[in-house]
Structure 1
Amino acid sequence: MTDYNVMKDFTFGSRDEFTREPIAEKIIKLLDSAIDVSPMIIDGKWGTGKTEFCFKLKNLIEADNLNNYKVGYVNAFQADHANEPLLTLIAEVAGFYGEDDDRRKSFIKNAIPYLRLVSGIGIKAIASLAFGKYAADIPDEFQEGMEAIEEGSDSFIDQSLESIIKDQVEAEKNLADLKAALVSISTKTPIILLIDELDRCRPDFAVMMLETIKHVFDVKNVQIILITNADQLKATIKHSYGSETNSHDYLYKFFKYQINLPTATKGTEGKSVENNVTHFKTIVQASNVIPQEFKDNEFIYEIPTFLDLSELSLRKIEQTVRCIETLIIFEDKEQSKSQIVEQILMVFLSFVYMIDEGTFQEINNKEIDDVKFLHFTNASQLNVSEYSSVEELGLRDIISIIFNKYFGQECLYLPTGHFDRQRAAQKLSEILDIYKFSAETDYLIKFKDNNSYIYKYIDHTINNLLLFDIVK
């Protein structure tokens, strides 16, 4: 679960493994410019670190605040239960100023008429009175009206309806007054409102928030940034207005700019590295459960580079690390025979558990579709000879060799001649020695012999993963 209290103090200086500070700096340049960029969407898939980026952006704006911005953060999901998006945003703006500040008092005074109108306070009160519901929630000022109803008088309802009709007639004036109050309060101190987690809200609330942003907060010196999953927001719009709705056009009639958070960064060699691969190493290194010798095993960080992690969000990566931590807690270190490979298998099987339930069950049942498994690891069939090199047999191939006995058909081929096969086996042993695993060479290449302890270790690890249904 996201810890907002911890995250609110995050800065790019403390952690920026995805190299997102340059993106934040460009956003600030747009906000400072004469270009009309508000409202703006910062788009990212679920679990890509949007909320963390949001707080870091807020802190960066405030750290070098030459324009004297008032920067607010609104968690739309937390406000969802109140069902009053306008009230939520007005409260955030009012909160910039102290209770005795005249600007706050004037702003609230101008906001109340329109807020009363659009929130339907009068209608709700009348409904409560008419049906006798939620009596404890009825404000004191309506108690007299309740007594009138009980006595059979319609005067209270008539007066209330008259008041509502009057509010409707004055709606445009009320809205104009509220916008003028927003302009007035933001003239010397421009406002930036960061609205987060809207993609997690109920569809009706999300749409109400969008409408509020468009019709009320689209004023000078007030800039709105929505941090959300745009695809999910489009699905929300379709849910509210029907599947035939052009949700793309509907959404982008509200917004002038969209910034897309990239899902990859450039590595040290200029190669593109997926953010979740980077995040995996960061989370492992930060773990208080994973021992240092495990963290120092560089092979474990190679595993996510050849698996397809496109379906694993940053949050799913954190859950994968939780699987690894669980396995470590259950480990009997005294039974360890090849720590490096055991750690590799813990990480690999945790990723399989999170990515592909079908493959995980095939491993559990010792009946793996070799074509599917090789595709899963982005590996190929292996031909090992005495001339094979470390470069030719990387970690993904070692994993294929380990699981070879589970395959319907072998993927490991050695020469058929006796002496050539012996020399190839010796070469394989030298390669396996890199992983401190050469003692298992004979077990791995003899297809009918399952005496290698590593197969018992695989069973042990799978059973531990299945013991608790770690939330995915």
Structure 2
Amino acid sequence: MTTDASTPAQRKSIQLRFKGVQFDTSVWPCSEDLLKRQVEIENLSQVLLNAQSPLVFAIDAPWGGGKTTFFRLWQHYLTHEKKVSLYLNAWESDFAEDPLLPMLAILDRWLSDQSNSTAVRKAWEKAKTYAPGIIKSTAVAATKAATFGALDLDKEYEKLASELSGGIVGSLVDSFNIKKKSLDSFKIQLSKALDALPEGQENLILFVDELDRCKPTYAIEVLERIKHLFDVDRIVFVLAINRDQLCKSFQGVYGPSFDGIHYLRRFVDLDYRLRTQDIGAYINARIRQPEILEYFNSRRSERDDYEYGSNVLGFLATRFDFTLRDIDQFVVRLKLILRSIPHDHYLDIPLLIPMMALRQENPDLYARYVESALCANEVAEFILGGPIGIVVFDHSMAVAVGYLIAAARDPHEQTSIDHLITPWSEWYEHAKEKDPQAAIISTVVEFASDCRDWRRRREMQKLAFSRIELVNKIDVS
């Protein structure tokens, strides 16, 4: 997506899409800033908008660590401040013969619209005529057929590219000289075209996302193109990377002993580690989405089940090392399940969310529990991350474990679950004098022993299982 603050009319109409929700870029802070990135973004913007350029700046975070969301919010802020920024998803364009093409394409979408500046338009048109001299020869044919086909390929360089692809160049020295001349001329014209930046904006911010998800060879080519072709004053590249993963990609190309960290330093001038967030606050915001709250409000829940859900999901996210992307996907599946429930039905969230996590993290144990909930204590130890009598957990998880055990009660009352409750009762008896967790352990026993409405809960359990299986057949990205 390109955001362009070049004219008042365009600025007024600009909107960005954030996780499927459009938001007005005239408003800052953004309501979707669930991780409170505002100060971080404002400070980085002031540094990079006024930094000595050219500059390549890397935002480092693990997969699912919120880099794309951070970029979207950052673009939102820049647009609100009437600054120009451009966005390229490298992973979505790694089919290109040459990564230079998608880079030129996003520049073209911005600069070709500068109808109020004849000098800028002319400079960019000239820059495009030099592009064939620096684009990989195998990509020229694809260039003319692709969406970037608007390129006005200069005849001399088009002929050169054709000869290169056919392997009939008479002089490699001449070929090199033409490419060098093309590159120098391209940079000169691009520098002139950057006068399209709004008054008061020193540098163009160009975000490159998902670089670590690209094919290793393509990721390397992107870095090389940025460093060697866009080392132009007033351009700042901001890369979203998972440093460890990207270095492993380099090793996949150059061998396991290759020093990927040292190699990456050749291309990146400055690093920034995206700070760790309060996962609990993020989950609490995500779980309170209108669609989820509407589900509970429409069923007149007697207690705040969504708060239980938030706390349980927070515990499980820590237990299973969920990334922000994992949490988003989990909440999407939860919303799909709640949407599918008839209005006159209800699900126990303290049971549903642990079952969703179990289905994701241990499908075999989940299948055994669905077949017979008599393995409830084994499930409890797995989701809590430790054995009965030792593991530490909170009140919300105590309710969840109590529900898991209570669900083992046989609908025909032929099977006792006393043997499932006994280990918790014994733990409580030992703990009630000196263990601060005694009240929490007591909650497990209380909910596991509760026989009220167990037939209705059994039906809710079956409904939950059917919906969990349904949403796990859906690819949630």
Tell me the TM-score normalized by structure 1: 0.70
Deviations 1:198-222 (A, max 9, x none): 2333332222111100111122211
Counterpart of 2:323? 313
Counterpart of 2:55? 38
Counterpart of 1:368? 375
CA distance in 1, matches of 2:364, 2:285: 25
Structure 2 vs 1, CA of residues 451 and 183 (structure 1 numbering), >3 Å: closer, same or farther?
closer
- Decide whether the 8 Å contact of 1:43 with 1:229 is kept in 2: yes
SS in 1 for 2:232: coil
- Decide whether the 8 Å contact of 2:60 with 2:242 is kept in 1: yes
- What percent identity do the matched residue pairs reach? 19
Say whether 1:323 aligns with 2:333: yes
What letter corresponds to residue 64 of structure 1 in structure 2? Answer: E
- Decide whether the 8 Å contact of 2:133 with 2:183 is kept in 1: no
Counterpart of 1:345? 351
Structure 2 vs 1, CA of residues 372 and 108 (structure 1 numbering), >3 Å: closer, same or farther?
same
Counterpart of 2:435? none
Say whether 1:199 aligns with 2:212: yes
- Decide whether the 8 Å contact of 1:73 with 1:193 is kept in 2: yes
Aligned 1:272-311 pairs, distance under 5 A: 273-274=279-280, 277-282=283-288, 284-287=289-292, 290-292=295-297, 293=300, 296-297=304-305, 298-309=307-318, 310-311=320-321
Say whether 1:173 aligns with 2:176: no
Counterpart of 1:119? 136
2:103 to 67, 77, 89: 89
What letter corresponds to residue 224 of structure 1 in structure 2? Answer: F
Say whether 1:242 aligns with 2:292: no
- Decide whether the 8 Å contact of 2:369 with 2:376 is kept in 1: no
Q: Where does the alignment leave 5 or more consecutive residues of structure 1 unmatched?
A: 126-138, 146-153, 266-272, 384-391, 421-426, 445-449
- Decide whether the 8 Å contact of 1:379 with 1:396 is kept in 2: no
CA distance in 2, matches of 1:368, 1:213: 56
What letter corresponds to residue 16 of structure 1 in structure 2? Answer: D
Deviations 1:416-455 (A, max 9, x none): 99xx9xxxxxx99x9699xxx87x73549xxxxx976545
Q: RMSD between aligned alpha carbons? A: 4.4
2:36 to 11, 19, 23: 19
CA distance in 2, matches of 1:228, 1:45: 8
Structure 2 vs 1, CA of residues 212 and 7 (structure 1 numbering), >3 Å: closer, same or farther?
farther
Deviations 1:359-400 (A, max 9, x none): 4234224353846633522576479xxxxxxxx982222333
CA distance in 2, matches of 1:22, 1:286: 29
Deviations 1:130-154 (A, max 9, x none): xxxxxxxxx9x89xx9xxxxxxxx9
SS in 2 for 1:245: coil
SS in 2 for 1:194: strand
- Decide whether the 8 Å contact of 1:72 with 1:193 is kept in 2: yes
Structure 2 vs 1, CA of residues 37 and 350 (structure 1 numbering), >3 Å: closer, same or farther?
farther
- Decide whether the 8 Å contact of 1:86 with 1:115 is kept in 2: no
CA distance in 1, matches of 2:177, 2:259: 32
Structure 2 vs 1, CA of residues 415 and 38 (structure 1 numbering), >3 Å: closer, same or farther?
closer
Structure 2 vs 1, CA of residues 370 and 37 (structure 1 numbering), >3 Å: closer, same or farther?
farther
Q: How many pairs does the alignment contain?
A: 406
- Decide whether the 8 Å contact of 1:31 with 1:37 is kept in 2: no
CA distance in 2, matches of 1:108, 1:172: 19
Q: Where does the alignment leave 5 or more consecutive residues of structure 2 unmatched?
A: 1-16, 143-152, 198-202, 409-416, 433-438
What letter corresponds to residue 102 of structure 2 in structure 1? Answer: T
Aligned 1:64-463 pairs, distance under 5 A: 64-65=81-82, 69-97=83-111, 98=113, 101-120=118-137, 161-162=169-170, 166-186=174-194, 189=197, 190-265=203-278, 273-274=279-280, 277-282=283-288, 284-287=289-292, 290-292=295-297, 293=300, 296-297=304-305, 298-309=307-318, 310-329=320-339, 331=341, 342-365=348-371, 366=373, 368=375, 370=377, 373-374=380-381, 376-377=383-384, 381=388, 394-404=395-405, 410-413=422-425, 441=449, 443=451, 454-455=457-458, 457-463=460-466
CA distance in 2, matches of 1:393, 1:107: 61
Deviation of 1:34 (Å) = 4.4
Deviations 1:249-268 (A, max 9, x none): 22222112222223423xxx
Say whether 1:465 aligns with 2:471: no
Tell me the TM-score normalized by structure 2: 0.69
